[in-house]
Amino acid sequence: MRKIAVLTSGGDAPGMNAAIRAVVRKGIFENLEVYGVSHGYEGLINNQIKKMELGDVGDIIHRGGTKLYSARSEEFLTLAGQNKAVANLKNLGIEGLIVIGGDGSYRGASRLSELGIKTIGIPATIDNDIAGTNETIGYDTALNTIVDMIDKIRDTATSHERTFIIEVMGRDSGQLALNAGLAAGAETIFIPERQTKMSDVAARIQSGLERGKKHSLIVLAEGVMSAESCSLELGKYINIETRLSVLGHIQRGGKPTAKDRVLGSRFGAYAVELLLDGQTDVGTSIKDDKMYFVELKSVYNQKKNYDSSIYQLSKELSI
């Protein structure tokens, strides 16, 4: 293999730049030509593919977002779009592609592998919803951002003795809500993976009030319901004033933590090694601080488990 390419796809995640840098520099170190594809699969279809040099990835390791831009591509869901992408890669003599993204991006990478391009996935999404790896790039940064923001909300919640409902990202996954809730000492955590009865939440708030506790923090994963619906539902069981805070895309930005930079760098270099070993249709993974690879299909056909003991612990510690 002489020529490889790299792209970022799906929601961006802090640490993607560290991974791009590692792919480019490790590739060049191994005497490969490395190409950068802008705008994910959309750029692959539109031939936005450029050769990258060592200097092209200078001064990005500490930046959030992705230098290669990201996109969600409708056209790539069609066979015609996928064929265009493959033709553009083949025209340039590119045999291997590294896809940095989430589970949807992994499905796209698998399709390309079936169509004759060797593909390696790197898990990158703040949601940490990818099976087969303990962590994804961007999760640690987003978690720290959320905890920082909840700390700020706690200050004002305490001063005004209020209940706050804080909506965090995670359509199908409660990883962010669960761990941010524990780290920020939230009284209640709602996650899509498990049902929480509103009557129980109201009862906990009521018993807290009776013990003289006047403020309460509720962390809600967006996939469960909106903060507004949560407030209306809660109002059916208890008569308290609530304030809502939807954290939104602030959670996806910001400079990556050291952990995400290390993870991005290790995954990027490892993905190049996997291509050189002739692997395809696999993704990088980390467990017990070691690099592994897993079949992409086994990743996106599985739902990542959440740790119910963390949920239980947060309940025990926040009475």
Ligand X SMILES: Nc1ncnc2c1ncn2[C@@H]1O[C@H](COP(=O)(O)OP(=O)(O)OP(=O)(O)O)[C@@H](O)[C@H]1O
Please say whether the beta carbons of 9 and 41 come within 8 A: yes
Please say whether the beta carbons of 103 and 136 come within 8 A: no
The interface with ligand X within residues 48-77 (CB under 6 A) comprises 72-73, 76-77
In three-state secondary structure terms, 289 is coil
Number of residues that bind ligand F6P (CB under 6 A): 10
Q: Residue count of the chain, please give it.
A: 319
Out of 12, 42, 103, 260, the only residue in the binding site for Mg ion (CB under 5 A) is: 103
Q: Is 172 a catalytic residue?
A: no
Shortest distance in whole angstroms from residue 72 CB to ligand X: 3
Residue span binding ligand F6P (CB under 6 A) among the ranges 111-119, 123-131, 178-186, 268-276: 123-131
Binding mask 143-182 for ligand F6P (x = CB under 6 A): --------------------------xxx-----------
Amino acid at 186: A
Nearest-angstrom CA–CA distance, 216 and 98: 44
Nearest-angstrom CA–CA distance, 183 and 202: 22
The interface with ligand X within residues 3-22 (CB under 6 A) comprises 9-11
- Choose among Mg ion, ligand X, ligand F6P, none what residue 169 binds, the Cβ cut-off being 5 to 8 Å by kind: ligand F6P
Edge-to-edge strand list for the sheet holding 216-221:
188-190, 216-221, 163-168, 242-246
Interaction of residue 102 with Mg ion, rule CB under 5 A: yes
C-beta closer to Mg ion: residue 118 or 304: 304
- CA-to-CA dists, residue 36 to 112, 187, 268, angstroms: 17, 45, 13
249 labeled part of a ligand binding site? yes
Residue keyed to tokens 């930079």: 261
Shortest distance in whole angstroms from residue 318 CB to ligand F6P: 24
Active-site residue numbers? 127
